[in-house]
A = this chain, B = another copy of it.
Amino acid sequence: MLINRNATDESASPPRRKRLKGLHHDVTPIRRLLFGQPIETGRHEDSLLPKSVALPVFASDAISSVAYATQQILLVLGGAGLWMMQFADTYRNLTLGITAAIVLLLAIVVSSYWQTIFAYPKGGGSYIVTRDNLGVTFSLIAGAALLIGYVVTVAVSIASGVQNLLSTPVAATLNIADKPVPVAIFFIALLTFANLRGLKESGLLFATFTYLFVAVAGLMILLGIAGPYLGWEVYEEAVNRTVPSEARHPAQALAGVALIGLTLKAFATGCSAMTGTEAVADGVPAFRHPQPLNAALTLFMMAGILAFLFLGISWLATDLHVVYWEHEGKAAKPVIDQLSGAIFGKHGVGLRSGLYYLMQFSTAAVLFLAANTAFADFPRLSYFMSRDRFLPRQLANLGDKMVYSNGIVLLGALAVVLIVAFDASVDELIPLYAFGVFTAFTMSQSSMVARWFKLKTRGWYIKAAINGFGAVCTGLVLLIVGYEKFLDGAWLVMLAMVLVVLMFRVINAHYEDLRARLTIIGWKPDTRAFSNTVLLLVPSLHKGIFPALRYARSLSPDCRAVHIEIDPADTARLRREWDEYVGEDPPLVILPSTYRSIIAPVLVYLDEVQKERENHTVTVVLPEFVSRKGWHSLLHNKNGLLLRYYLLNKPGVIVSNVRYFLDGRDGSANVQAGEAQEEETP
């Protein structure tokens, strides 16, 4: 036995390593151009994120929700007639009250997740926490809720970002103001692409915009509140206060039970502000060390910024009596646009319109960043669930940029489906949002309670109380959201969750079955005598047959050449040439084809050969030649492909294509003029 052990059984030497990298380039030059240099496995540590980068990457989802949370509250209240000036006080009080309630809920959830981060430093997403403490069934529900939630996050954030871009005068000039769907798809494609290039690079790229958004939105809030006292002119005409007649019904909802219903509905809608709070706990391993502390601090900063912006925007919106409703047949102007139009001023060229555009573009940017959060989390959760055999294993493949490429592409595709199905409408997408998010919150919090009861570490009852309070609060909100938003879209999310959980189960059953079928534990390999017959298909004798002939002969002592006879005249010639150029080894077998099929005689003969011996494999060698130009292959029969297809489904049969390169690449071509048949395989 001739084995060059040295060349094989060692780690990659530096020159081989260099060749590997070079070859990686050669193999997929287009991929390299698009996605940049590959990243070595060992370099994973380098892509860990400092807090300053982790904040925009993981918190932008939560922070950006201020772009639509206030707006959706106003939509519900306005729809009940509260937009009318005589109800201005109720409009303001309800809006601010609901905002404050949501901020309080945020504080509860954050303190609950603070504990989760320290308990699960390797990533404490709802799926993993639930699996550990409440078992598989609940964890699958949490997993389904989260995966669906990430898709909706991308759709809502992109739709809202596009809404804010298209409400600017420049969009009207560019004539794209009423084309949100293609614009949204463009940005989803862009995000998908950026994420395929690697997390860190996109993190640095987007960090700038989050901080810009926080700064400009903060400035807008301060100017909006303090400005009028300092002589800063506010353009109230930028605010929409007229609504179409069909919405002008009197506010019958302002008494008793109806008022409670209205408040709950607005609250349920406003809870969209809470989305994304989960992201930090899920992404702990992406932080620099000490990971839990850095993650917890980031969570805290995020909550603080969110609370400030949310309260500020709700305050300004009610102060200026902003109405969010469609206007003169056009889509509703987003609240951020109305506020920045009023406080900064959207027309002309100057500092104020500059600030207006900065506000709009940074709002859009931070919303796209929010979508980016989902692009970090969806593939990570898919990886966890794939590792647990609940999702296809392809989702666990780390790409050469250390990202889970398949998950990224899947998320982008699903988000595009939602955008198209809901016409990129923020108002129609939002109802899909909160139910999944609060399912995950509740599962996660309840799991933590179960964990403290199990572990009973020092001071466990205080921790259990904190998580328990969180679980009760988010559970209550879940009920409210499920009830108030059922017909608006929550039913769709519930149905999707059921289907996704079923899918998890079916996939898992397949992998478990496979595992059982393939295990070698307690099994003895087959040691019976084994033989292999080689059949070389010979359509005619030409130079391209000889490499295959030599190869076929080397494989087994039992080698036979097989010719399918379509025209007996060809057979006579072949036999003559065979005797002259080849001889007796291997013998030539002629199979007549009564119906001119290439496939059927081979299959019949194959059955006969297989029955000759026990434990017998048949190798079919197909000689084929490779044309020098691609279009040449159009001029040749595709019988080899067809035969291969039929043979692949026969147990005990192995197909080997031996290729003859007509361009002489294999060094065996040797052009000479003369006469030959040129049929190809077989």
Contacts and interface: CB of A to CB of B under 8 A. Distances in A.
A454 interface: no
Given A8-B560, A17-B594, A599-B27, A520 B532 contact: no
B605 A8 contact: yes
Contact of A523 (B20, B23, B593, B672): B672
Interface in A470-529: 507, 510-511, 514-523, 525-526
A646 interface: yes
Nearest to A394: B637
A501 B490 CA distance: 66
Contacts of A612: 4, 7
A472 to B, nearest CB: 39
Given A5-B587, A27-B603, A634-B392, A400 B596 contact: yes
A290 interface: no
A589 B438 CA distance: 51
Interface stretch (A305-313, A327-335, A674-682): A674-682
A223 interface: no
A259 interface: no
A121 interface: no
Interface stretch (A93-101, A244-252, A656-664): A656-664
A399 interface: yes
Given A595-B41, A617-B551, A675-B519, A608 B21 contact: no
A676 B11 CA distance: 26
Interface string A24-64: 10010000000000111100000000000000000000000
Contacts of A549: 525
A242 interface: no
Nearest to A621: B654
Given A24-B600, A651-B666, A516 B657 contact: no
A520 B676 contact: yes
Interface stretch (A191-199, A212-220, A339-347, A538-546): A538-546
A665 B651 contact: yes
Interface in A578-612: 581-582, 585, 587-597, 599-601, 603-605, 608-609, 612
A632 interface: yes
A673 interface: yes
A518 to B, nearest CB: 4
B577 A9 contact: no
A104 interface: no
A465 interface: no
A421 interface: no
A655 B654 contact: no
A257 interface: no
Contact of A581 (B394, B525, B596, B678): B525
A90 interface: no
Q: How many subunits of this chain does the assembly comprise? A: 2
Given A600-B23, A635-B507, A657-B648, A518 B546 contact: no
A668 interface: yes
A558 interface: yes
Contact of A595 (B9, B24, B600, B649): B24
A530 interface: yes
A3 B556 CA distance: 12
B20 A600 contact: yes
Contact of A1 (B38, B585, B591): B585
Contacts of A604: 16, 19-20, 23
A667 interface: yes
Contacts of A394: 636-637
B667 A651 contact: yes
Nearest to A397: B637
A363 to B, nearest CB: 38
Contacts of A3: 558, 560, 587
Interface in A279-294: none
A550 interface: yes
A557 interface: yes
A24 B597 contact: yes
Given A516-B674, A519-B675, A637-B397, A558 B27 contact: no
A153 to B, nearest CB: 26
A2 interface: yes
A531 to B, nearest CB: 8
A537 to B, nearest CB: 14
A208 interface: no
16 contacts: A1-B557, A3-B587, A7-B612, A8-B560, A8-B591, A8-B605, A9-B588, A9-B589, A27-B599, A39-B595, A393-B635, A393-B679, A519-B672, A555-B555, A651-B661, A655-B656
